[in-house]
Chains A and B, each alone.
Chain A
Amino acid sequence: MKILATYNIKGGVGKTSTAVNIGHLAARDDLRVLLWDLDPQGAASFLLRVRPRVKGGGKALIKGRRELDAAIKGTDFDRLDLLPADFTYRNLDLILDSTKKPTERLDRLLRPLADEYDLIVLDCPPSISLLSESVLHAADILLVPLIPTTLSVRTLDQLSEFIAGFDGHKPKVLAFCSMIDRRKRLHREIAEQLPEERTDVARTVIPALSLIERMSVERAPVTAFAPRSAAARQYVALWEEVAKLGL
C-alpha cells in the first residue's frame, strides 16, 4: 500500500481536484483506493456526494482502526472509497498533539489498511501545522500543485528542505504546475522551464479549465463525467507520471 498526499501550504491551487481525479484514475486502473478528505471544508466529500460528517468526529478517528473502518463510505465509483471530512477536523492539530508521537500517528493509523487498499490519497487542508507534518511523515509521495509564480517555487524549495531534514522515511516529492492560465506569459514561461530545470516537477501541467471548475456542479471527477476532455487527458498524463514513482 502506498500513501499519496496532495499538499500545498496555499489554498485554491487545485489540491482537491487533483486528489479526486487521481483517486478516480487509480481506481479505474484496478487499484483499491481510499481518499481521506482531511480538509474541514469538505470539498472532496462534496464532489463525491458524501455528506461531510464522521460519527465521533476527528477525535474518534485518530483513536483507532475500528472507528476509521466505520467511517469509510463507498463512492459511486468501483474501488474508490472515501473517508469523509468533518468540521471537527479543524481541531486535528490539537487532537494529534494529545497523542504520543503525534507526527507518527497518521502513519500508524493508516498502515493497517494495507490489506484493504492499494493506495491512500490524503487531501490536505492548506496549512503548515502538526497535521501537515504528520501527513508528510506518513506519505510515500507528495503531489504538490504549484501556481507558476516565483513565490510558489520558493515555497517548494522550503518544503523540500524541510523533508530533507527528516530522519528515516522521506516522501518522494512531485510538484506540477496547476491552474495554468495560457494567456499569462509568466505562467507559460515557468510551466515550460520548471520541468526542464528540476527533476521534482512533472512535465504534465493542469490548465485552468472551466470543465475542472464544473466538477462542483456535476459532483464527480472530470475523468468520470468528461473522460475524453482535455482536462481529463491532462489528469491521465499526471497520473501516469505519478504511477511511475512506484505505485
Chain B
Amino acid sequence: MVESFPHDFVLACEGRPPADVVRAALAPRFTVAPDGRPRTLRLTWLDTFDWRLHQAGLVLEHSVGSRVSDYTLTSNDGEQITASARGVRWPALACALPPGPLRARLQPVTDVRALMPTARATATVRQLRVLNADDKTVAWLTVTDMSLAGQDASQLPPRLSLTAVRGYQAQTSRIARCLAAAPGVTPAAASPLDDLLAATGRHPGDYSSKIDVKLTAEMPARCALEEVLLRLLDTLEANVPGTIKDIDTEFLHDLRVAVRRTRSAVKLCGDVLPAGVPEAFSGEFKWLGDVTTPIRDLDVYLLGYGGMAAGLLAATPAELEPFHDHLVQRRKVEQRELVRALRSRRFLDLTRTWRKELAAPAPRRGITAAALAADRIDRAHRKVLKRGAAITPDSPPESLHDLRKRCKELRYLLEFFASLYDPAIHQQAVRDLKGLQDCLGEYQDCQVQQHEIRMFAAQMMTEQDVPATALLAMGELASKIARRERRARREFAGRFADFASPASQHRFRALTSGAGR
C-alpha cells in the first residue's frame, strides 16, 4: 500500500531563492538540481459560469508560454488529461477544442454551457530534480511564482508541487515528510485557483441559480420575502452581461427563470410588501419576461435541432438546413432586440428601483415567514389539486396550460421557502410535483413548437425562396412533435393521479402544518 502524502506546499522564502529553501529541507539524504531554464507562462483557469467543472471535481488550466499552449484537466482523484491547442478564443463551448480525450471528458460535464476564464495569472515556473545517492531522479519539484494579472505579486507566495517518478513513491513520501517538517515550507491548504480567487474576493461555486437563502421560521414574512427577491435580483443581474455578450444560451435561461420567480413571488406573496409595490413592479417584470421570450423559444429549437434532424425518417437532415438557417437569422434579429432592452433606461431603472425598494428597512412585525409559507403553499397545492381533478380527456389544451402555470407557482413557493423545511420531506414533495410538471411541460412545449413551426414556415415562404423539400422536412418535424404531444396528453392522467395520491397529499400536509420543519 503506497502511503499518501502532501503534494503541494507553500513557501515562505524570506528573500532566499526557493531552490535554496528546498535544498536545505532535503539535505543530506537528497540533493536538488535545476532542470532547464525557468519558464514564464500565462495561466488561465476555465470553468462554466455556474461552475460545472468545479462541481464535478475538475480543474481546467490553460498555460501559454513561448512554445506551448497546453490545457490540463485535473480531477479530485488525481486523473489528469492534457492536450495542446492554439487559437481558441474563450468564452466558447468545449467543442471549440480539438477532438480528443480532453474534449470528450469535458463535453458531457459542460453540456450547453460555455467555458470562460475564472482566473488569470502570470507564472514563473522552475523545475527541480530531486536526486538520490545514485544521482537518480526520484521526484520532480515545480516551483511556481504566481502573480495575479495586474495586481501585486507579493499577494501570492511561491508554491511547490511534488511529483513522484514512477516506482519511487516511498522515497517521494520521505521527501514530502522532509518538506513538511522544514521551516518556511507548509503543506498548501488550498489550490492555486482557490488562492487566486480568494485574492480577488471570489470563491469557486460563487454563482448558482438556486435560491440558497437561509430563512428562519420566526422571521417576519416581509423580511423573508425581500431576502428571496433580493437573491433573485442578484441572479438576474449576474446573468445580464453573459446574455448581452451571448456567451451561451443559459445566461438568458437563468435570467428568465429569475424574472418568472420574481413575478410569481410578487403575485403570490406580494401582499406582505408595502401597499402599491406589487402593482408598481409587476407590469415591468412582465415586460422583461416578454422581451426575453422570442429568443428563448428559438434557443429551445436550436438546442434540440441536432436531435430533431437526426430523427427524420422521410426527409434528410440536409433538407432541413434552410429551417436551421432561418432560426439562426431570426435569433440574430431577436438578440439585437434583447440587447437593446437590457441596455435600455427602462431596464436599468427597473433593477435599480427594485433593489432600492427591497433594501428599505422593514418593520419587524406582521406574520412570520413560516406562517406565510404554510398558507401560500397550502393554497397553491389545493389549487393544483382542484384544477387538475377537473381535467378530463375532453378538456381543452388551455386547461392543461393553466394547470402547468399553477404547478410552476407551487414549485416556486417550495423553492423560496425550502430552508424552512426538513430537506427529506421537502425534496420528496418537490419530486412528487416534478413528475407532473415534466408531463405538462412536454405537452406545452409541443403545443408551442407546433404553433411556431407553422409560423416559421409562413415567414420562410414570404422572406425567401424556400425549397419545397425544406417545408416537407418541417412537416415531418411537426408530425413528430404532434406525436410527442399526444403521448404527453395520454400520460397526464397517470401523472396527476400520482401527484394527488394520499401519500403525496400527506407529505404536503406535513409541510404546511409545520410537522415538516
A219 touches B135 (CB 8 A): yes
Which residue of chain B has its CB nearest to the CB of A46?
B134
B168 touches A73 (CB 8 A): yes
Cα distance A111–B21 when bound, in Å?
Answer: 45
Cβ contacts B105-145/A at 8 Å (1 or 0 each): 00000000000000000000000010000111100000000
Total interface residues on A, using CB and 8 Å? 10
Cα distance A74–B172 when bound, in Å?
Answer: 13
Which residue of chain A has its CB nearest to the CB of B137?
A76
Partner of B136, one of A50, A71, A72, A81: A50
Residues of chain A in range 59-109 having any CB-CB distance to chain B below 8 Å: 71-74, 76, 81
Which residue of chain B has its CB nearest to the CB of A77?
B137
- What chain A residues lie within 8 Å of B137 (beta carbons)? 74, 76
Cα distance A72–B129 when bound, in Å?
Answer: 19
Q: Is B87 an interface residue (CB 8 A)?
A: no
A210 to chain B, nearest CB (A): 22
Which residue of chain A has its CB nearest to the CB of B135?
A49
Cβ contacts B364-392/A at 8 Å (1 or 0 each): 00000000000000000000000000000
For this complex, into which size category does the number of interface residues on chain B fall?
Answer: under 10
Q: Is A182 an interface residue (CB 8 A)?
A: no
Which residue of chain B has its CB nearest to the CB of A70?
B167
Q: Is B345 an interface residue (CB 8 A)?
A: no
Which residue of chain A has its CB nearest to the CB of B132?
A49
A50, A71, A72, A76 interface centre (most CB from chain B within 10 Å): A76
Q: Is B165 an interface residue (CB 8 A)?
A: yes
Q: Is B67 an interface residue (CB 8 A)?
A: no
Which residue of chain B has its CB nearest to the CB of A82?
B167
B166 touches A73 (CB 8 A): yes
Cβ contacts A202-228/B at 8 Å (1 or 0 each): 000000000000000001000000000
- What chain B residues lie within 8 Å of A74 (beta carbons)? 137, 165-168
Residues of chain A in range 137-181 having any CB-CB distance to chain B below 8 Å: none
Residues of chain B in range 284-338 having any CB-CB distance to chain A below 8 Å: none
A50, A51, A73, A74 interface centre (most CB from chain B within 10 Å): A74
- What chain B residues lie within 8 Å of A219 (beta carbons)? 134-135
- What chain B residues lie within 8 Å of A81 (beta carbons)? 166-167
- What chain A residues lie within 8 Å of B166 (beta carbons)? 72-74, 81
A73 touches B135 (CB 8 A): no
A73 touches B134 (CB 8 A): no
A76 touches B136 (CB 8 A): yes
Which residue of chain B has its CB nearest to the CB of A76?
B137
Cα distance A71–B134 when bound, in Å?
Answer: 18
- What chain A residues lie within 8 Å of B134 (beta carbons)? 49, 51, 219
B167 touches A49 (CB 8 A): no
- What chain A residues lie within 8 Å of B165 (beta carbons)? 73-74
Which residue of chain A has its CB nearest to the CB of B167?
A73
Cα distance A81–B166 when bound, in Å?
Answer: 8
Which residue of chain B has its CB nearest to the CB of A48?
B136
B138 to chain A, nearest CB (A): 9
B167 touches A72 (CB 8 A): yes
- What chain A residues lie within 8 Å of B167 (beta carbons)? 71-74, 81
B452 to chain A, nearest CB (A): 49
B132 to chain A, nearest CB (A): 9
A85 to chain B, nearest CB (A): 14
Which residue of chain B has its CB nearest to the CB of A50?
B136
Cα distance A51–B134 when bound, in Å?
Answer: 9
- What chain B residues lie within 8 Å of A51 (beta carbons)? 134
B129, B136, B137, B168 interface centre (most CB from chain A within 10 Å): B136
B391 to chain A, nearest CB (A): 57
B127 to chain A, nearest CB (A): 12
Cα distance A115–B165 when bound, in Å?
Answer: 19
- What chain A residues lie within 8 Å of B129 (beta carbons)? 76
- What chain A residues lie within 8 Å of B136 (beta carbons)? 49-50, 76
Residues of chain A in range 16-72 having any CB-CB distance to chain B below 8 Å: 49-51, 71-72
Cα distance A228–B137 when bound, in Å?
Answer: 24
- What chain B residues lie within 8 Å of A76 (beta carbons)? 129, 136-137
Cα distance A192–B111 when bound, in Å?
Answer: 63
B139 to chain A, nearest CB (A): 10
Cα distance A66–B170 when bound, in Å?
Answer: 18
What are 7 A-B contacts defined by CB distance under 8 Å?
A: A49-B135, A51-B134, A72-B166, A72-B167, A73-B165, A74-B137, A219-B135
Query: Footprint of B on A, CB under 8 Å?
Result: 49-51, 71-74, 76, 81, 219
Task: Contacts A51-B134, A73-B165, A73-B167 known; list 7 others, CB within 8 Å.
Answer: A49-B136, A50-B136, A73-B166, A74-B166, A74-B168, A76-B137, A81-B167
Closest 4 CB pairs of A and B: A73-B167, A74-B166, A49-B136, A74-B165
